[in-house]
Amino acid sequence: MRALLMLDLINEITHPDGLYPEVCLDQVRERGVLDKAAQAVAAARRTGVLVVHVVVGFSPGYADWPRSSTLFTEVPRRGALVLGTWGTRPHDLVKPAPEEPVVAKGRVDPFLGTNLDLLLREHQVDTVLLTGVTTDLVVLSTARQAHDLGYRVEVLADATASGDAWTHEAAMRLIARTATITTVDEALSR
């Protein structure tokens, strides 16, 4: 069984009204990532591939915010990434269907402190297909951790982005050591 993981394609990062457009919004637009991710979701739903939405966020009041993280330093000051708000919902182009699980994470790695591994094993998933932002953070981290947990990993390169093309390509070179690099059409036409 395969699962399509939609990684951090949330409004705060992928919508022009989000609080973090500087993270990768230009590359998301330039690369057509949301359209490709929407194409991946539609194909997955048609072919019985489990779709799992992974969102980064913290509880109101930020009690679970990682104070030592250089990546999340500005989150409370900006009032960003609060779970249950518009900012942490997946973008409308890839919004979850009612039966699709949403996994909330408070770190880069979506397996750390979440039920993602249990959920995948419950559905007898042996292969994960990755889409999302950013390639150099959550996609790379997910690919490595999924590999180490024994999953086959395929990264849908045309449905991922980083802050710039160089960083995206560098991350893809690293990811290729433990995962198959593919596209939406290649991975979901089988």
For residue range 15-66, list pLDDT tens digits in order. 999 999 899 999 999 999 999 999 999 999 999 999 999 999 999 999 999 9
| Distance separating alpha carbons of residues 6 and 53, to the nearest angstrom | 5
Task: Answer yes or no: are the C-beta atoms of 91 and 13 closer than 8 Å.
Answer: no
User: What pLDDT is stored for residue 90 in this prediction?
Assistant: 98
Q: How many CA atoms within 13 Å lie on the side-chain side of 47? A: 16
| Distance separating alpha carbons of residues 108 and 128, to the nearest angstrom | 17
Asked whether residue 161 carries a pLDDT value surpassing 70, the answer given is: yes
Of 163, 166, 184, 164, nearest to 174 by C-alpha is: 166
| 76-80: average pLDDT | 90
| 100-121: average pLDDT | 97
Q: What pTM was estimated for this model as a whole?
A: 0.95
Contacts 24+ apart (CB under 8 A), 76-81: 78/19, 79/19, 80/12, 80/19, 80/20, 81/12, 81/19, 81/56, 81/57
Asked whether residue 73 carries a pLDDT value surpassing 90, the answer given is: no
Q: What strands lie across the sheet with 180-182, from one edge to the other?
A: 102-105, 50-56, 2-7, 127-133, 152-161, 180-182
| 87-92: average pLDDT | 97
User: What pLDDT is stored for residue 68 in this prediction?
Assistant: 86
What confidence tens digit (pLDDT) does each residue in 118-155 have? 999 999 999 999 999 999 999 999 999 999 999 999 99
Q: Residue 131, preceding bond cis, omega within 30 degrees? A: no
User: What pLDDT is stored for residue 160 in this prediction?
Assistant: 98
What confidence tens digit (pLDDT) does each residue in 22-36 have? 999 999 999 999 999
User: What pLDDT is stored for residue 190 in this prediction?
Assistant: 62
On average, the pLDDT of the chain sits at 96
Helix or strand (DSSP H, E) at 174:
helix 165-175
pLDDT band at residue 171 using 50, 70 and 90 as cut-offs: very high
User: What pLDDT is stored for residue 182 in this prediction?
Assistant: 97
Instruction: List, in order, residues 6 or more apart from 176 with CB less than 8 Å away.
Output: none
Asked whether residue 77 carries a pLDDT value surpassing 80, the answer given is: yes
| Distance separating alpha carbons of residues 94 and 39, to the nearest angstrom | 9
Token pair recorded at residue 71: 């990546």
Task: Answer yes or no: are the C-beta atoms of 23 and 137 closer than 8 Å.
Answer: no
Asked whether residue 163 carries a pLDDT value surpassing 90, the answer given is: yes
